[in-house]
Structure 1
Amino acid sequence: MRLGDLSVSYVELMARAVAQSGYDPTEILRQYQLDEVKLASPDARISIPRFMRMGHSMISAFRLPHLGLAMGRCSSPSMMGIAGLLAQSAQDIRSACRAVTEYELLSSFNARGRSVFSTEKGQGVVSFYSISPYNDYNLFVVDSVLSGWFTFLSMVSGRTDLVARIEVEFPAPDYRDQYADFFPCEVRFGAERNALVLHEWALPLIVRTRCASTYSALKLLADRELERVRLGLSFREMTERAIGPLLNGQTPTLEQVAQRLNMAPWTVRRRLTDEGYTFQQVLNDTRRDLAVSYVRDTTLTLGEIAYLLGFGSATAFQRAFKRWTGEAPGRFRERTGRGYISTASSTSSS
């Protein structure tokens, strides 16, 4: 199981933000083997670890710690793929928020979780899952998502006052003053989640670009594409995807995984048995595969990886990793660390 991947439209967005900041991203794109052909491919994807390393390279080269915020400002519905176009044609802000989150899988997949729209005491909450622990490689990811959502809502409503506050899970970064330039509302750092909290009155507001016929046509397309993605997964893979977000400082139970799959535990057990697996096998294999990805493709410490995978200590994780791979994690990282970009027809390493 990989950590996840994204449409290359996010790379195009990053390059646009760098260019609008007065710099040329061409050389860094070349270093990551990305050219106009790959960026124009509708099926091309980039691994999340590789995307984060590229963002870090851009930030370091051009001294743009607020790159993620700039990316969000450059965002547009078309950059969000089918989900963005569907949301742009929705009737109201509530429906637009649902479209952006419910069809997110069509442009990105992350083993850590998925974005969600909900209501709390009448207010709308668009939340982005936790990708802690935070470091120089992933702050910009949260910034870009929150800023992108804010930009999108401003575009489709014609207003900048829909958001009551921004909640950011990580502590205030060195560039905290930049947030005031991007968000005309309270920004709360060190929060329990990453989210935009919308005023209650904002949810029924009419979307300026609404079009009922276009919305209906795009929703049919989006539903078909989402079903195609899901049908391409075995039940084992669906279970792995349910396990991933739950592996955050704990070892998930069959009951917890079944709840995420909206199934009874016995149904999950039976369907896995039909494919020749047990729940414990899938759980162990998911931890192993994610462990390999974390060690190979990220800069997380072994202690952080141990926590993310539900191990009681870094020592316990190291023992398990050596049992799985025959190699200590430090040595494995030194030997294999790399990322990848793929298309629907092939996957290549670089």
Structure 2
Amino acid sequence: MPGPRQRVDPPGGGGGGPQRGLEPTLSPRFVAYIRDFLLDKGLAPDPLFLACGIEALRCDESDRPLPAIQVVNLLEQAASYSGDPCLGLHMAQRYHYESASLLILAVLAAPSVAEGIRCLCHYDRYVDTAIETGFDFDKSLAEFSFRLIVPEGVAVSQMNEYLLGFLVQALNTATRRPVPVSEVWFRHSDARNAGILEDFFNAPVHFSRPENKLVFDRTYLQERFYTSHTMLYEILVNAMKTYFVSEKSGNGFVDILCREVIRCGGDETATLEKIAERLAISPRTLRRRLADEGYSFQEVKNLAREKRAKYYLSRTTMPLAEIAFELGYSELSAFSRAFRSWVGQTPQTYREHAIAARYQ
């Protein structure tokens, strides 16, 4: 049996100072994508990477994931460094597919638009823990949405525009047909690229919206991918399925479960069977892995809420009532009682201590 489990707190948790164990991260492949774009423009990437504290050579998928805030800042700095205020979109348009990640290769090998987006949403949760994706294919207009988990006040326009721009560019390439976009939403308020973005998406673009979202004609979901490769798709999906939920992946299994519980939303929705289905493993395997880690499923559910609560309290200015709602509590008092049972402090006290620790 395993020894006593060790708790890993998110930024601002436990000992007071920021810890990276649960900080939202992005794939190191983003470094390669930015590098390629700068090299194409005849710019040396090393000075920029050095100024941002990033090692240019550590961009392999097996390298340690990077804190999301560091990658987002790198994109914003790259826009200034290159003199290109629309760098995010331009980087998406000039993406080097020979530098693509394992996930992107799998997406492009999928049989159709619908299967490609499903693959992206299912496996990106392991690759980019700072990106929460979702889709709704049941309406007359299909929707793909995402949200970046970064502290409030961080400039995210380049990353938001890159991610939606890349999805559309990749779909255009794979189907040989422009995505029939109806409208585009961005969470950021910076609308200086509005005209260029509307020309690219060929649709109205709105800013300061609740989420980043692409709305398009549902019939497009059935479009075949001319990049489809059945054998390659099966190999890549099986490889990701085996690797990302294995002990070798570097993704702590309990951390993976915590993220899935949060993504499921309400406590009633996050059943063991539902989480197992989302991870593409059997409930029996999930129970065995939990036993190996020394956790019960209910303990994981409580830990998931605790981790996300700590992140919101230490890294955002979200009102307590809003945090409670995000975590599935209908009343602030219920959230406060639960949080106190987890850490021995009220949410407000924890927030004050976390903020004070950052400025010591």
Q: TM-score higher than 0.5 here?
A: yes
Instruction: Give the whole-Å Cα distance in 2 for the aligned partners of 1:330 and 1:273.
Output: 36
C-alpha distance 88-25 of structure 1, shift in aligned 2 (>3 A): same
Instruction: Give the whole-Å Cα distance in 1 for the aligned partners of 2:172 and 2:114.
Output: 14
Instruction: Give the whole-Å Cα distance in 1 for the aligned partners of 2:231 and 2:287.
Output: 42
Q: Which residue of 1 aligns with 2:107?
A: 87
1:190-201 equivalences under 5 Å are 190-201=208-219
Shift of 1:197: 2.4
Gaps of 5+ in 1: 247-251, 336-350
User: In the alignment, is the contact (CA less than 8 A) between 2:123 and 2:240 conserved in 1?
Assistant: yes
State yes or no: 1:261 paired with 2:275.
yes
Q: 1:241 aligns with which of 236, 259, 270?
A: 259
State yes or no: 1:43 paired with 2:56.
no
C-alpha distance 80-192 of structure 1, shift in aligned 2 (>3 A): farther
User: In the alignment, is the contact (CA less than 8 A) between 1:56 and 1:136 conserved in 2?
Assistant: no
Secondary structure of 2:137's counterpart equals strand
Shift of 1:290: 4.8
Shift of 1:223: 2.4
Instruction: Give the whole-Å Cα distance in 2 for the aligned partners of 1:234 and 1:91.
Output: 31
Q: Which residue of 2 aligns with 1:330?
A: 355
Shift of 1:85: 1.2
The one-letter code matched in structure 1 to 2:355 is G
C-alpha distance 181-243 of structure 1, shift in aligned 2 (>3 A): same
C-alpha distance 330-42 of structure 1, shift in aligned 2 (>3 A): closer
Instruction: Give the whole-Å Cα distance in 2 for the aligned partners of 1:46 and 1:234.
Output: 16
The one-letter code matched in structure 1 to 2:268 is E
58-67 or 269-278, larger mean C-alpha shift: 269-278
Instruction: Give the whole-Å Cα distance in 1 for the aligned partners of 2:60 and 2:257.
Output: 32
Q: Which residue of 2 aligns with 1:339?
A: none
Q: 1:168 aligns with which of 186, 207, 215?
A: 186
The one-letter code matched in structure 1 to 2:48 is I
State yes or no: 1:220 paired with 2:241.
no
1:27-176 equivalences under 5 Å are 27-40=47-60, 42-77=62-97, 79-110=99-130, 113=132, 115-129=133-147, 131=149, 135-171=153-189, 173-176=191-194
1:288-303 equivalences under 5 Å are 289-290=307-308, 300-301=316-317, 303=318
Shift of 1:287: 5.8
C-alpha distance 308-11 of structure 1, shift in aligned 2 (>3 A): farther
Q: Which residue of 2 aligns with 1:4?
A: 24
| CA-atom RMSD in angstroms | 4.2
User: In the alignment, is the contact (CA less than 8 A) between 1:83 and 1:106 conserved in 2?
Assistant: no
Shift of 1:278: 7.5
C-alpha distance 208-273 of structure 1, shift in aligned 2 (>3 A): closer
Shift of 1:144: 1.5
C-alpha distance 276-90 of structure 1, shift in aligned 2 (>3 A): closer
Q: What TM-score do the two structures reach when normalised by structure 2?
A: 0.69
Q: Which residue of 1 aligns with 2:202?
A: 184
User: In the alignment, is the contact (CA less than 8 A) between 1:76 and 1:152 conserved in 2?
Assistant: no
Shift of 1:10: 0.8
Instruction: Give the whole-Å Cα distance in 2 for the aligned partners of 1:281 and 1:209.
Output: 43
